[in-house]
Amino acid sequence: MCPKNENRVRIASKSDTAPQIKKQLENEKKVSEDLMEILEGSYDGILVTDGDGNVLYVNNSYERIAEIKCADLIGRNMKELINPVWMPNSVAFVVAEQKQPVSKRQITKSGKNIIVTGRPVFGKKGDIKKIVINVRDITEIYELREELLKARTREQILSSCYDFSEMIAKGEHKVIAISEQMKSILNTAEKIANFQTTALVTGESGVGKEEVAKYIHKKSLRKEKPFITINCGAIPQNLLESELFGYEKFAFTGASQHGKTGLLELANGGSVFLDEIGETSLDFQVKLLRVLESKEIRRVGGSKDVEVNIRIIAATNKSLEEMVENGSFREDLYYRLNVVQLHIPPLRKRTDDIEPLARLFMAHFNNKYQQNKYLTMDVVQEFLSFTWPGNVRQLKNVIENMVILSNNDYLQVEDVPWLADNAKVIRKNTIKAITANDDLSLTEAVENLEKLMLQQAKAKFKTTREIAAALKVDQSTIVRKMKKYDI
């Protein structure tokens, strides 16, 4: 309980002299001025009404936070300010009715969230003499709360939709599609799965073209038959035909005396994924076009056609339209392959998929290397801000790197390869600069090391408060030194 105010004005008696009365009045005036300075210095808004809701006092902070001018408040009753949009009721009347402190959240004219608390001041007879209302801007706190709720909801959705650990342990294969772009692509892939048409999957290297091709196969009636992947760019062009079509015995120098069955023939009844189709020669394109038209192949050195029942899904990271224009890809083959085109956007343009993909790969490599590591939100945020030039393939490699090399069970920002590499380069260059310079003073050497430590800490922590705690100095010191070194 606050102590009673002993600075009350004493009623002057007849024996008091004029100087004493003057001094008392001066003291009273000073106390009043000090009180006003305190009230006006409050960062929170303060409004005082009488028991009926008539406004007696308002400080400047109330005007700033509640967005109501003091001139519109002083001498008026709070009933006059009530409106259905931004003040459906006044806390003053709720306090008067309940005769106890009351807190309410309100929204100002501009949409700020504020908390309004009213507290009654009782007279000797138990009636309410005054109501003191305090307002505080909680917009930032409210927004952080909303973000936290969204993050928790997202986590719950991911956890409920995907039990990655169980899925990996069972050896199940699943294509992750959280973003609207990938959902649309998989919907199209499922729609065409049981039609025997060709499909062309396009997109940058590493976006997951083969995974989409596998998805088409697994959703089709051919799912129990072979799915064979052929990287046209990895096989020398002079061997590509014999690898795909096979060859008869002694068909060419070095050929097996028993001949060889080609990959297209081995895939009979199933699906063939021709990756990097843009790397094939024009001669091979003619033969591939014949296969698509006739569903027949002829082995190298052979004289008979062999019928094959295969579904062709081709993929490329090149622009086949431009290749057709410059004559490096056959126009008739392009149109034969491009009956249905599925273009997969790069990972940087479908950021909603980054976190679930990272969690999927984390479960995979935890299972593979017998680890039990976890992603932290700081790492996820770093992933979301990265451009991923290598797309999903790069993300998978990064997760594997972190699972193997990190000493942390909960992966930290400093475990992210590109940040770790930057820190190593900075450290190496700084130490080299210090040791190689004989003219460097002690002060200059210390400053270089300070700058190095601050750069590393900034990469690891988000705020200057966290950096200060880690380096065991005051926050003001961190702010000053970061400004000094332009960090």
CATH code of 340's domain: 3.40.50.300
CA nearest neighbour of 355 among 216, 150, 189: 150
- DSSP code at position 219: T
Of all residues in the chain, the percent with pLDDT exceeding 90 is 45
387 and 292 in one domain?
no
Q: In a 10 Å sphere around its CB, with 0-12 CB exposed, 13-18 middle and 19+ buried, how is residue 77 labelled?
A: middle
270 and 221 in one domain?
yes
CATH number for the domain spanning 61: value is: 3.30.450.20
Q: In terms of pLDDT, which residue wins out, 226 or 429?
A: 226
Domain boundary among 395, 415, 435: 415
Question: How confident is the model over 449-464, as pLDDT tens digits?
Answer: 788 788 878 877 778 8
Q: Which domain holds residue 433?
A: 419-484
407 and 357 in one domain?
yes
327 and 208 in one domain?
yes
Domain boundary among 77, 108, 141: 141
Indicate the length of the chain as a whole number. Answer: 487
CATH number for the domain spanning 387: value is: 1.10.8.60
Average pLDDT, the chain: 84
CA 92 to chain centroid, in Å, comes to: 43
- Residue 351 neighbours by CB distance under 10 Å: 15
CA nearest neighbour of 192 among 224, 168, 211, 215: 215
Q: In terms of pLDDT, which residue wins out, 142 or 183?
A: 183
Domain boundary among 141, 158, 180: 141
Domain assignment present for 177:
no
Domain assignment present for 466:
yes
C-alpha to C-alpha distances, 146 to 149, 153, 178, 352, nearest whole angstrom: 5, 10, 21, 19
369 and 342 in one domain?
no
332 and 198 in one domain?
yes
Mean pLDDT confidence for 26-50: 86
Domain assignment present for 19:
no
CA 134 to chain centroid, in Å, comes to: 37
User: How would residue 170 be classed by pLDDT, with cut points 50, 70 and 90?
Assistant: low
198 and 334 in one domain?
yes
pLDDT value for 450: 83
**What is the pTM (predicted TM-score) of this model?**
0.57
pLDDT value for 433: 59
339 and 368 in one domain?
no
- As a whole number of angstroms, the distance between CA 87 and CA 320 comes to 62
Domain assignment present for 174:
no
Looking at the structure of the chain, the number of domains it has is: 4
User: Phi first, then psi: what are they for 29, rounded to 5°?
Assistant: -65, -40
265 and 225 in one domain?
yes
307 and 230 in one domain?
yes
Q: In terms of pLDDT, which residue wins out, 457 or 349?
A: 349
Domain assignment present for 153:
no
- As a whole number of angstroms, the distance between CA 470 and CA 464 comes to 10
446 and 405 in one domain?
no
User: How would residue 255 be classed by pLDDT, with cut points 50, 70 and 90?
Assistant: low
445 and 388 in one domain?
no
pLDDT value for 471: 82
Residues 6 or more apart whose Cβ sits within 8 Å of residue 312: 198, 271, 272, 274, 291, 292, 337
Mean pLDDT confidence for 219-229: 95
